[in-house]
A and B are shown apart, each in its own frame.
Chain A
Amino acid sequence: MDSIREIVVLSGKGGTGKTSVASSLAYLAGKEAILADCDVDASNLHLIMGPDIIKKELFYGGEVAQIDIETCIQCGKCKEVCRFDAISFSAGVHTIDNLSCEGCGYCSRVCPTGAITMMPRLSGEFYISGIRNGSQMSHAKLFAGGENSGKLVATVKKNAYRMAKERGCDYLITDGAPGIGCPVVSSLSGAKVALLVTEPTMSALHDLKRVLFVVRRFNAIPLLVINKSDINEAVSEEIKIFAKSEKIEHLADIPFNTAFVESMGKARIVAEENQFLKGIFESVWEKAKEVADSSVQN
């Protein structure tokens, strides 16, 4: 049985402070945890963790069709079957729009002359890096317009689990993506705890409810942190009532603090820059660990 406890930081809404929370927990955890950045299409952890890349690999996120002009007889069968409008015919030749092609391969199967080949699609890179807190980080970059972010997230996680095992780390701290789609689903797979970072806005509460549904589907234990908690006390209260009704443990309120943006500007982690916030993150980290540990014992 795997004893590595994964804590994934999610929010639903973007910009609530996932990365600041994940980096602060990693800072406090030190060598106890491996850090994974699973927000692969807008990753930011590397900007403050000072990664020293140990290993870099290319990510192929599926396939893309390629037409050989020499072999093509311009019969148009490929264009007929393509459901993604990826094949166009002009000036007497058929061409494929890489951005629209989803890589299903249907065209290559119906081409009577074998003029279409499915090629691996280079859509990103992934890395293993040493980081400033003495531990390591698994991270990635999805190229613009990239497909298959879920698969890249799975790759980042697989590496992170392996690194944790090799280095004897008990925990994995995963910075997730906003939304509820494939990268979020992929980041939840195997996670024991979902640390939900929200803010007291109507938008964030709405989005929190949706991501909670996905968290429940994966049987991760949800925990709650309300960031910028004093921006709207009434909505903050509403979130707490919601959390209570859903039996989600509310770990902390973090009042609005310019230290978040200031530390980012210095490429530093907010918990290493601000003693008051460090104290809050210490209690969050202890509690998250405790819940993650108990989920393994049960």
Chain B
Amino acid sequence: MAQTSNVFKLAVASGKGGTGKTLLSTNLASFVSEFDDVLLVDLDVEEPNDSIFVKGLVSDVHPQYKMVPQWDVARCDLCGDCVDICNFNALVNVGKMIVVYENLCHSCHACSELCHKKALPMKKHHVGDVSVIKSQNLTLLEGRLNVNEEQPVALINNVHSLVNQNWSKYKYQIFDSPPGTSCSMVASTGKCDYILLVTEPTPFGLNDLKLAVDAAKLMKRPFGVVINKYGSGNKDVEEYCRDNGIEVLGKIPFDISIAERYSKGELLLDKHCFRSVVSSLYNKLENIRISQNG
């Protein structure tokens, strides 16, 4: 939803992995922080990397939970309704026991609330953490899924709620999103004001950009493209954008020294050619923000 205030929620996404979402998110956030407060949110909760680049002290850790049913043997009459009710196969009747597969649970509460014996009370299940990392004007919220969890969506939704509760005063909110175009990408970007799709000028990049464009259109979110490693590969991505009226907001040149500095976990704003791309991108985003709020 567009916010009533002048908050601007920017999602940085891509279909293909490794195109430069983190590179762009961390440097853009760092650029804005030179003159304004900015919130960077790492929603790639399966593999969060922003904290490698944004160095600061962890000021707070918010444990994150999803609600899952817990079987109460004393109350259960083994009627088996819960097993039928669950559409995700998270409950199984094993002989005289109901086993809960917490990984599969979507926290819909149906089994718990429809159980006539109230034998499946909901309890908190720890799925990950949100760390708050402060680096002057930049606040990084890092969502991190526990490695034994499989479903990132509940945690991503939690992080969004947490942002709205505690950090809504930040005008700039940048959401570094997971790759792909499935439910986790939708949960990350679906309520943002604008989606930046980062791609690379290769057939793989183009194929996955098209998928990401489909996702953005499905969610009815405005979007634009940033081409990373520009100058390598071919011109097909540019032609696709031009033919489909998709705005290209920036081109990051292919430069082995960028790759090398990225590999060390460094920000790149002191590199002139890179900084000018980020600065011009920021100006374009400012225009978009102002026109959306106007």
Contact = CB atoms under 8 A, between A and B. Distances in A.
A181 B152 contact: yes
B264 A232 contact: yes
B16 interface: yes
B181 A145 contact: yes
Question: Which of under 10, 10 to 19, 20 to 34, or 35 or more describes the interface residues of B?
Answer: 35 or more
A261 B264 CA distance: 23
A145 B182 contact: yes
Nearest to A83: B108
A35 interface: no
B88 A210 contact: no
Contact of A103 (B15, B85, B87, B148): B87
Interface string B24-52: 00000000000000000000101101001
Contacts of A242: none
Contacts of B212: 144
Nearest to B236: A265
Question: Which of under 10, 10 to 19, 20 to 34, or 35 or more describes the interface residues of A?
Answer: 35 or more
A47 to B, nearest CB: 5
Given A145-B218, A146-B183, A206-B52, A105 B87 contact: yes
B63 interface: no
Given A149-B182, A179-B178, A14 B18 contact: yes
A104 B147 contact: no
Contacts of B259: 228, 231
A16 B87 contact: no
Interface in A112-163: 118, 142-147, 149-150
Please indicate which of the listed interface residues B87, B214, B262 has the most CB atoms of chain A within 10 Å of its own CB: B87
Contacts of B113: 81, 106
A83 B46 contact: no
B179 A145 contact: no
Contact of A19 (B52, B108, B204): B204
A255 to B, nearest CB: 12
Given A44-B204, A44-B207, A182 B180 contact: no
Contact of A147 (B182, B202, B234): B182
A69 interface: no
B47 A15 contact: no
Nearest to B144: A210
Given A13-B17, A42-B211, A145-B183, A258 B190 contact: no
B264 A235 contact: yes
Interface stretch (A196-204, A245-253, A285-293): A196-204
Contacts of A190: none
B3 to A, nearest CB: 17
A62 interface: yes
Contacts of B151: 181-182
A267 interface: yes
Interface of B: 15-19, 22, 44, 46-47, 49, 52, 85, 87-88, 106-110, 113-114, 145, 147-148, 150-152, 178-186, 190, 202-204, 207-208, 211-212, 214-215, 218-219, 232-234, 256, 259-260, 262-265
In order of increasing CB-CB distance, the 3 nearest A-B pairs are A14-B17, A15-B18, A104-B108
7 contacts: A102-B108, A106-B113, A106-B114, A144-B215, A202-B49, A210-B147, A235-B263
Given A42-B208, A206-B49, 16 more contacts: A13-B47, A14-B16, A81-B110, A104-B106, A106-B109, A143-B214, A144-B218, A145-B186, A146-B183, A147-B183, A149-B182, A178-B47, A182-B150, A202-B264, A210-B47, A235-B263
